[in-house]
Homo-oligomer: A and B are copies of this chain.
């Protein structure tokens, strides 16, 4: 079964907003074996919505409309759907009662507009919205299913899961869709593609997508089959070959972030980590502490932006900075060793570099970053040249620092 999503709201046609509910809906529909074939965004205009809904009705067996269910004059989805389907709006007594009760509880008079939300096209069912006032609506019309959902994600998402997914299960085709994601660090996108394309091309029934995010390449596999088991088996067959080829560049197969993976390794090996960072300005500490429970292995960071603090906080000898400059291999090494010595952590990480946009020179251009890792086996330092903006340089530096920690504790 194919589906079509229509997002209603003039704010979705401004430069500020776009429809994101459809990503959630697509994920849920796909997992029921339903593919999304069209997505349309239309404003709060009766004629425009009627035109879009009319086209959808002519071609799609399942139409999900989001937004436009509020109490104001702008909220037209109910009315337009009722009109196009030729099903007059009827008041749902139970919804009316709930709305009236709410205003009594609040001790406020109810504006008449609010009763619009109690109206349901004839023959439709209302779906309980536990997180807002507008109920969802489910209409079986000839061979089509039409679903109306409220726009706010915190209302739409639980409502879909509680009321729509179970109803859709019986209408969905027997087809199942399963996905798998491999996250890769340390290889450029073209290299990943060169390595895995010859493998995935032999699997025409699995759709493979390679996506480049900042510092990570993701390989997405999607298999369709008649049972979950069959789809999983297909994914496993292709996935295992891909994982073998990419080797230890794959850091995650279950969606974890690099900082989560590093955290798991640190707990497993009962190690702790501390950081002395300059150009990343706290980003490496911030990423490590995004992970709940990171206090088990993360001790702290010295963000030494001013050179004097590199000495005072992390113990970098002032003459080292004088001789080699703050952005240099020896200073990165001293930062890592200082972080370790001053905190008692098993692993110390040091980062120094030039994030830009200014501060570069011919010898030390913007994007030059040194990352050092110190542990009981000694200290290693790597030199990087990251392209791009200040943001990108900082993110890449934190990414490669995490990757150095991952490799060191895996070994």
Task: Please report A residues at the B interface, Cβ cutoff 8 Å.
Answer: 11-16, 18-20, 22-24, 26-27, 30, 35-43, 45, 48, 51-52, 55, 59, 209, 211, 220, 222, 275, 280-286, 288-290, 292-295, 298-306, 308-309, 312-313, 342-344, 356-359, 390-391
Interface contact B39-A41, CB-CB below 8 Å: yes
- Complex: how many Å from CA A309 to CA B276? 13
Contact B282 A294 (CB under 8 A): no
Show 15 residue pairs from A and B whose CB-CB distance is below 8 angstroms, ordered by the A residue.
A15-B23, A15-B27, A18-B20, A38-B52, A51-B55, A275-B303, A281-B289, A281-B298, A285-B285, A286-B286, A292-B390, A295-B359, A299-B309, A301-B301, A301-B302
A76 to chain B, nearest CB (A): 15
| Contact for A285 among B12, B26, B35, B303, CB less than 8 A | B303
| Chain B residue, CB-CB nearest to A26 | B15
Interface pair B281/A283, CB less than 8 Å apart: no
The one of B23, B209, B312 that contacts A342, using a Cβ cutoff of 8 Å:
B312
Interchain CB contact under 8 A, B16 and A22: no
Chain B residues, Cβ within 8 Å of A282: 282-286, 289, 301, 303
How many Å lie between the Cα of A211 and that of B15 in the bound state? Answer: 13
Chain B: minimal CB distance from A162 (Å)? 20
Contacts A292-B390, A342-B312, A343-B306; A30 near B15 (Cβ below 8 A)? yes
> Which residues of chain B come closer than 8 Å to A24, judged between CB atoms?
15
Residues of B within 8 A of A39 (CB): 12-13, 18, 40-41
A358→B23 contact, CB < 8 A: no
How far, in whole Å, are A36 and B43 apart by their CA atoms in the complex?
9
Do residues B18 and A23 form an inter-chain contact, with CB atoms below 8 A? yes
- Contacts A40-B38, A40-B40 given: A299-B305 contact, CB under 8 Å? yes
CB pair B209 A292 closer than 8 Å: no
Residues of chain B lying within 8 A (CB to CB) of residue A23: 15-16, 18
Within 8 Å CB of A14, what residues of B?
26, 30, 209, 222
Contact A304 B300 (CB under 8 A): yes
